[in-house]
Amino acid sequence: MRTLHTSPGHPWPVGDMAESKWAERFLAAAVVQGAIGFGVASVLLYLAVFGVPAASRIVAGGGAGTWFVVGVIGYGLVGILAIAVSSLFYHHIESALGFPYTGWRKYAAWAHLVLGGGIGSAAALLTAYGGYAAGAAMLPTTVGGGGHTAATGGFEWVHENILGPLVVPIAGLIGLSLLGFFLGGVGYVTAWMAARKTSSLAH
């Protein structure tokens, strides 16, 4: 059982917290994903100002370009925010409660990180790519688009030639991502329950 003590500058009780390796791994992954997100945002800013067709036109055009918006937002939520927040849960288990991740739970944590974070991010970026390519194809040629407008049957063309082939890969990636988050959740909940039980027995 950890002892509580006070230290200079910290008049309140402070626990002797152990290092959380999984919290560090998830924070590192969030930093990497954030750097990738910064790069993507920089490219999008350039395309919005100098791109032909401009990325802003693809967003404003709606339709197939909606995939682009959903993909970018999904990357921010899954690849960056969800992974960063997950590190807090692992920190609570390993550091605050002092319960190390061992046995099958460490494999569940790897599944959470790799499948949930990595594969989920890949699904979001692939969705964004498909939406950008389809949205650009549906813009008029006068603004640098592919000319497959709604008036010329562009919806059918982009869904058959651009978005259609991406549906199964994206669905597969999302399925793997959900599996990763599920396994990570099972590992976390069982670890939390075990840590609480151990703590209650110690008292």
pLDDT of residue 202: 62
Question: What mean pLDDT value characterizes the chain?
Answer: 86
Helix 164-202 / helix 104-111 crossing angle, nearest 10 deg: 140
Helix or strand holding residue 15 (H, E) = strand 10-15
pLDDT of residue 1: 42
Burial-class residue 10 by CB neighbours within 10 Å (0-12, 13-18, 19+). Answer: exposed
Task: Give the confidence band of 12 by pLDDT, cuts at 50, 70, 90.
Answer: very low
The string of pLDDT tens digits covering residues 155-202 is 888 888 999 999 999 999 999 999 999 999 999 999 999 888 876 666
The pTM (predicted TM-score) of the whole model is 0.83
Q: How large a percentage of the chain has pLDDT more than 70?
A: 89
Whether 14 and 22 have beta carbons less than 8 Å apart is answered as no
Beta bridge partners of 5: 14
If we measure between CA atoms, which residue out of 178, 199, 169, 177 comes closest to residue 96? 199
The string of pLDDT tens digits covering residues 117-144 is 999 999 999 999 999 998 888 888 888 8
| Spatial distance between the Cα atoms of 46 and 172, rounded to a whole number of angstroms | 31
* Torsion on CA atoms 114, 72, 124, 159, rounded to nearest 10: -170
The string of pLDDT tens digits covering residues 97-116 is 888 888 999 999 999 999 99
